[in-house]
Amino acid sequence: MNVAARRARVAVASGWRRLPANIRGALWVVAAGALFSVMAAVVKILGNRLDSFQIAFFRALFGLAAVLPFVWQEGLPRLRTRRPGMHLLRGVMGVSAMLCGFYAITHLPLADAVSLSFTRPLFLVPLAVLFLGERVRARRWAATAVGFLGVVVMLRPTGAIEPAAFVALAGALLVAGVSVLLKKLAATETPATILFYFGVISSTVALGPALYVWIAPTLGELLLLMLVGALAAAAQSFMIRAFAVAEATAVAPFDYVRILYAGLIGYALFAEVPDRWTVLGATIVAASTLYIARREAWLARRRREPRTRRAEQSGRDPGVSRARSCG
């Protein structure tokens, strides 16, 4: 039995490796989307009795617990940092984004909350200009404007606006800000260091508000809170694997499957039916953010072309010349 099981695992692994890299990346993203969507559903269930502050605290605490084995493996000396202030800012912004996201999930239909969370690339464009010094041309500004038009559509142009929708947008803005900080931190810090400090800071920041609204969780709720942390850690791991093996622009569109998952789960568990404004607005936001991603990839290829051409003209392959210079 063990031999048969081993052979089956080897066959599956071999078949998996034979798949094109972009297909493997897309499958990782689809799997991550499923885990994120189940996590959101669990958060919504917990929100019936527990406050968002308390859910966020346990999410941060169990997330930290999941990171500790990797920190131990890398060694405690690797935790030294030259940017404690930036880690602190990232932790505060990250836990604030988490609070906004959990509040939106518990107060909005699941599909609405997930759809609004996908506005973060729209906020990232102006933030990259302001804090990273990136140049943005007319087409990306136009795509960003169209994306925000989709947000207006999702906010119900013919009816009352749910205040929790603005909290969801604030969370998307904070996530975009965290992305800018991560880009700066990644230049000097290891992933384990970044995750460790985020876990410590976010748990500490969320503890005070959580104690203020504390309700003793039942055993069932405690298990669900642990599940939230485990699902989040697994989903993030899947996303890292996806972008490690595949081209970002090839797999990014598959992340929008989370909107479909959210709609199906919301209907099955909470009897929520997305209305036409959510569907139309989410479609506009998805189209604009995908255009921005593909436009950025095209510009990156154009920037690489002159360097490749110069290397070819000199009779050397750029990858070989880099390897020689490093060796």
pLDDT digits (tens, 9 = 90+) for 106-118: 999 998 898 888 8
Q: Which residues of 228-260 are buried (b: 16+ CB within 10 A; e: fewer)?
A: bbbbbbbbbebbebbeebbeebbbbebbbbbbe
Q: Is 168 exposed, middle or buried (0-12, 13-18, 19+ CB in 10 A)?
A: buried
pLDDT, residue 55, reads 93
CA distance linking residue 187 with residue 136, whole number of Å: 22
Closest of 22, 8, 68, 319 to residue 197, by C-alpha: 68
Query: 53-56 contacts: CB < 8 A, separation 24 or more?
Result: 53/99, 53/206, 53/209, 53/210, 53/212, 53/213, 54/210, 54/213, 54/214, 54/215, 54/217, 55/102, 55/225, 55/228, 56/95, 56/98, 56/99, 56/102, 56/202, 56/206, 56/210
CA distance linking residue 175 with residue 116, whole number of Å: 12
Output DSSP code: residue 186: T
CA distance linking residue 77 with residue 80, whole number of Å: 6
CA distance linking residue 196 with residue 321, whole number of Å: 37
- pTM for the complete prediction? 0.78
Q: Which stretches of the chain score pLDDT less than 70?
A: 1, 4-5, 7-8, 10-13, 15, 76, 157-160, 248-250, 296-297, 299-301, 303-327
Residues in the chain: 327
**Are 254 and 247 contacting, i.e. CB atoms less than 8 angstroms apart?**
no
Backbone Cα Rg of the chain: 22
CA distance linking residue 139 with residue 323, whole number of Å: 37
CA distance linking residue 51 with residue 109, whole number of Å: 17
**How many Cα atoms occupy the beta-carbon half-sphere of 138 within 13 Å?**
0
CA distance linking residue 61 with residue 53, whole number of Å: 12
CA distance linking residue 109 with residue 113, whole number of Å: 6
**Are 157 and 277 contacting, i.e. CB atoms less than 8 angstroms apart?**
yes
Closest of 159, 130, 156, 124 to residue 143, by C-alpha: 124
Q: Is 297 exposed, middle or buried (0-12, 13-18, 19+ CB in 10 A)?
A: middle
Closest of 89, 104, 258, 88 to residue 170, by C-alpha: 104
